[in-house]
C-alpha cells in the first residue's frame, strides 16, 4: 500500500511539472483527445489488401488493366453518389457569397473588416450571420448584375445568370512541394527550384506561397449535356428539369466535369472546417475524390475477385430482377426499372453498405488515366495524378471514371472495368462521390 501511495505522489508531481522540469520524456501535455465521429452520409471502409484488376475477359481487348495485389488505407466514402440537392447547396453557397461580396463593397454589414481585437482583416471576410434582404431596394439594385439582362429573359422571368457563378478557391500542390529541387535549403536560407502554375507558366519558388495554387471554376452543371450527348434523341425535358426540379432532388448530379467535382470537394472541406474552427486547436478534415484503387476496393465490398459489387457473376437476382441501373439486353433501358438515371439508393447496397457502385452514373476518380498505370504505380495506395493545364494536349486531360452508367452495357459496370473522360468535359452519365481519409489505422 505504501509503494502504491508513493507511486501516486510521484506521478502527481510529474504531471504538475512542465515537460522540461520533470526531466522525463512525457510528450506535450494538454493535447486534445481525438475520436473521429462518423461523417454524415458516409460509410467506413477498413484498411486492407485486395486483388485489383479484371475478374473476366476484356470485351474490347483494351488491355488497360492487369491483375495486381494492392493495399489501401482506411477511409470514409459517401454512401451514395452526390445528389442534385446536395450539389445545389454548393451552387447556392457560391451564389450567396458573390452577392455578399457585391453588397459588402457598399454596405459594411455584409463583411467583417476587423477581428475581435480590432485588427484590420484584409481582404475582409464575408459575414454569413446577416441575411440578404431581397425586399430592400438598395440590396436589389446592388445585386442586379447577378441576374440575366432583360434582353436574355424568357417571358420576362428574373433568373440568376449561371455564367456568373464562378467559384474561386485555393489548394496546395504537395506533389510539386515534395520535389527535392523545391525544398527549403537550410544552409542558404532560401528555396530553390520552380513550379508550374495552372496557366503553364514557370514560377520561381521564393517562399511557400509558390505551392498555393489559385483556381476558378464555373460551378453550375451543364444541363445541355442531356441533349449534346445523344444525336437524334429527345431529352429536352431532362435538360430543362433535371437539376432544379424537386422531383429529381434525390437523383445523382450529372453534367459536372472533373474540375467541378474537385472544386466541390474543396468547398465541402472548407464548409466543415469552418464550422469546427475555434480559438483553440481544431481538427481539419479534407474531402476529395477517391483514388482509383480506393474506388475498386470499396466497390468490391470485401469480396475478393467478385465480378460485380453484389458478388455474383450475373446481373439478375434469384427472382429475375436486375441488380443495377445499366443498359440490359439489347437496349431495353426500362427493363431494370429506370430509363435514364434512378434515385440514389434504389438498388441494394454492397456488403459495405455502398449504393450504386455499379451503374446509375459513372463516377470521377482523382487519377489521371494511363493504359499502363497498373505497371508503374506503387502497390500501396497506388496513385497517378497529372494536373493538366488548359493548353495541354487532350491525352493529358484524361481522368479515370469507374462504375459504368445507366447507358452502359453490363461489362462497364463490373468492379474492375475502367474508362476515362476528359477533365474539362461534362456528361449526362457521369457523377461523383467523395471520400475522406481515416485518421489512424483501422
* pLDDT tens for the 442 residues of the chain, in order: 444 444 444 444 444 455 567 788 888 887 777 777 789 999 999 999 999 988 776 666 667 778 899 999 999 999 999 999 999 999 999 999 999 999 988 888 888 888 878 888 888 888 888 888 888 888 888 888 998 988 888 888 889 999 999 999 998 888 888 988 888 888 888 888 888 877 778 888 888 888 888 899 999 999 999 999 999 999 999 999 999 999 999 999 999 999 999 999 999 999 988 888 754 556 778 999 999 999 999 999 999 889 999 998 899 998 889 999 999 988 899 999 999 999 999 999 999 999 999 999 999 999 999 999 999 999 999 999 998 988 889 999 999 999 999 999 999 999 999 999 999 999 999 999 999 999 887 7
Q: Which helix (H) or strand (E) covers residue 123, if one does?
A: strand 120-126
Neighbours of 175 (CB within 10 A): 14
At 96 the pLDDT is 93
Please report the domains of the chain, with CATH numbers, ordered by start residue.
Answer: 68-437 (3.90.1580.10)
Q: Which helix (H) or strand (E) covers residue 268, if one does?
A: helix 258-276
At 32 the pLDDT is 75
Helix then strand then coil, % of the chain, to nearest 5: 30, 20, 50
Per DSSP, 248 falls in state G
At 18 the pLDDT is 54
In terms of Cα–Cα distance, which of 388, 385, 379 is closest to 367? 385
Sign (positive/negative) of CA torsion 152, 153, 158, 162?
Answer: negative
pTM for this structure?
Answer: 0.91
At 1 the pLDDT is 45
Provide CB contacts within 8 A for 440, sequence distance 6+. 36, 74
- Number of helices (H), then strands (E), belonging to the chain: the values are 10, 18
Instruction: Kindly provide the b/e burial profile for residues 73-106, where b requires at least 16 CB atoms within 10 angstroms of the residue's own CB.
Output: bebbbbbbbbbbebbbebbebbbeebbbebbbee
Phi, psi of 434 (to 5 degrees): -100, 160
At 282 the pLDDT is 62
Amino acid at each position: 500500500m505504501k509503494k502504491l501511495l508513493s507511486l501516486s505522489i510521484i506521478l502527481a508531481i510529474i504531471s504538475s511539472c512542465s515537460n522540461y522540469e520533470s526531466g522525463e520524456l512525457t510528450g506535450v501535455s494538454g493535447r486534445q483527445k481525438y475520436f473521429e465521429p462518423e461523417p454524415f452520409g458516409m460509410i467506413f471502409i477498413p484498411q486492407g489488401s485486395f486483388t485489383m484488376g479484371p475478374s473476366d475477359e476484356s470485351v474490347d481487348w483494351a488491355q488497360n488493366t492487369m491483375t495486381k495485389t494492392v493495399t489501401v488505407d482506411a477511409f470514409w466514402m459517401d454512401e451514395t453518389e452526390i445528389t442534385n440537392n446536395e450539389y445545389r447547396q454548393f451552387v447556392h453557397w457560391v451564389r450567396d457569397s458573390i452577392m455578399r461580396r457585391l453588397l459588402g463593397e457598399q454596405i459594411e454589414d455584409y463583411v467583417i473588416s476587423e477581428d475581435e481585437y480590432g485588427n484590420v482583416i484584409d481582404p475582409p471576410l464575408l459575414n454569413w450571420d446577416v441575411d440578404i434582404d431581397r425586399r430592400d431596394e438598395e440590396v436589389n439594385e446592388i445585386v442586379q448584375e447577378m441576374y440575366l439582362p432583360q434582353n436574355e429573359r424568357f417571358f420576362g422571368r428574373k433568373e440568376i445568370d449561371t455564367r456568373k457563378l464562378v467559384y474561386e478557391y485555393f489548394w496546395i500542390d504537395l506533389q510539386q512541394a515534395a520535389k527535392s529541387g523545391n525544398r527549403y535549403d537550410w544552409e542558404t536560407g532560401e528555396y530553390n527550384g520552380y513550379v508550374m502554375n495552372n496557366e503553364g507558366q514557370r514560377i520561381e519558388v521564393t517562399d511557400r506561397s509558390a505551392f498555393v495554387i489559385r483556381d476558378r471554376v464555373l460551378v453550375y452543371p451543364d444541363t445541355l449535356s442531356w441533349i449534346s450527348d445523344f444525336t437524334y434523341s429527345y431529352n429536352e425535358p431532362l435538360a430543362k428539369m433535371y437539376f432544379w426540379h424537386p422531383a429529381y432532388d434525390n437523383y445523382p448530379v450529372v453534367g459536372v466535369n472533373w474540375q467541378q467535382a474537385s472544386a466541390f470537394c474543396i468547398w465541402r472541406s472548407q464548409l466543415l472546417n469552418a464550422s469546427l474552427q475555434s480559438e483553440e486547436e481544431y481538427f481539419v478534415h479534407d474531402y476529395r475524390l477517391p483514388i482509383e484503387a480506393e474506388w475498386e476496393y470499396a466497390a468490391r465490398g470485401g469480396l475478393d475477385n467478385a465480378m460485380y459489387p453484389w458478388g455474383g457473376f450475373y446481373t439478375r437476382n434469384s427472382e429475375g430482377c436486375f441488380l443495377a441501373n445499366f443498359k440490359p439486353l439489347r437496349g431495353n433501358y426500362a427493363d431494370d426499372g429506370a430509363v435514364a438515371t434512378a434515385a440514389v439508393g434504389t438498388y441494394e447496397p454492397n456488403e459495405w453498405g455502398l449504393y450504386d457502385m455499379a451503374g446509375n452514373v459513372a463516377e470521377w476518380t482523382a487519377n489521371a488515366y494511363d493504359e499502363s498505370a497498373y505497371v508503374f504505380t506503387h502497390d500501396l495506395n497506388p496513385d497517378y495524378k497529372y494536373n493538366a493545364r488548359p493548353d495541354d494536349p487532350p491525352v493529358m486531360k484524361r481522368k479515370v471514371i469507374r462504375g459504368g452508367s445507366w447507358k452502359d452495357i453490363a461489362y462497364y459496370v463490373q468492379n474492375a472495368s475502367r474508362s476515362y473522360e476528359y477533365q474539362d468535359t461534362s456528361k449526362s452519365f457521369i457523377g461523383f462521390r467523395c471520400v475522406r481519409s481515416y485518421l489512424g489505422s483501422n
